[in-house]
Amino acid sequence: MSGTAAGPFLPINLHAIAAKKDTATREERRALHDAVQRRQFVEDMMELKGTFFPGLDALRKANEAPESSVDLKERIQEVKQKHLEEVRTLYEWQAQDYFDEVLDMSRSKPDVDLPDVEEFYRLSRSSHEIAASFDDQLDRHHYAHLTGLYPLMKQYNILRGVEEERQKQRDKQFPSSIAEFRATRNKDVQLRFARFLTSGDIARERMNHEYGWAWRQVMPLINDYNQNEEFQKEIQALLQSLSKEVESRDPRKSRLTATAAT
């Protein structure tokens, strides 16, 4: 515990207050009590979080390794889970501190000397002060957690936006192979490719013009489709399943179904 605490105008000598605690003013005793609580909270945080330094090599590798939004999402979940476990531990410590405080206070004031129950509880009221300090400790801990979580969330949103934009650009390009077709994550775009493969030349020409595809881009997959019977079956099955899925998400379809039912 530091020997001084900041007062309204001048630092307060806490050691001097502790040495003459019986003659100290109420403000001085309050300053001493707050300083003890802060010291205990800092010690609890040091024990709770501990200290860990992975080493320069580990830090260098972690800094050089590319990080995706999936990696960041996992880190964010780990940070949240760790915070939850720390809060649970804090609650346990605070409950034990409160129990010890009340127990010590009850033993320091024998009820035989204070037959008046109301007076006994009034003098024991200071036990509520330590309970009130618990909220402040939890608020500080939660604020520190959010302060550390904010940069991760911000970086995650940026990375996710960049990755989604890259995926959109990739989805605009017609796949040149069966593997690229299967790797298309956007189901609506994959359905568009499948409909193109099963359409005639006139419909294909119209789709080429609409989506900016060139014949040299689409011919490799068209040839694969014409020559691969298994791929044809895959496309037909995909068209059936994706068409139903897209229709189920279409609000116009649900309104028409509801109207027909009535």
Question: What is the reported pLDDT for 236?
Answer: 92
pLDDT reading at 114 higher than 60: no
- 10 domain residue, yes or no: yes
Q: Which domain holds residue 243?
A: 173-250
Angstrom distance (rounded) from CA 40 to CA 3: 15
pTM: 0.51
| Four-residue CA torsion sign, 105, 108, 112, 116 | negative
Residue 107 and residue 190 share a domain: no
Question: What is the reported pLDDT for 261?
Answer: 45
Cβ-contact 193, 245 below 8 angstroms:
no
Summarize pLDDT for 62-98 with one digit per residue, the tens. Answer: 566 567 888 889 989 998 998 888 888 888 877 877 7
Residue 150 and residue 77 share a domain: yes
Question: What is the reported pLDDT for 1?
Answer: 46
- 195 domain residue, yes or no: yes
What's the total number of domains in the chain? 3
Choose the final residue of a domain: 28, 55, 82: 55
Residue 11 and residue 29 share a domain: yes
Angstrom distance (rounded) from CA 246 to CA 52: 50
pLDDT reading at 140 higher than 60: yes
Residue 163 and residue 73 share a domain: yes
- 262 domain residue, yes or no: no
Residue 133 and residue 191 share a domain: no
Residue 112 and residue 152 share a domain: yes
- What residues have CB less than 8 Å from 101, skipping those under 6 apart? 127, 130
- What residues have CB less than 8 Å from 184, skipping those under 6 apart? 171, 175, 190, 193
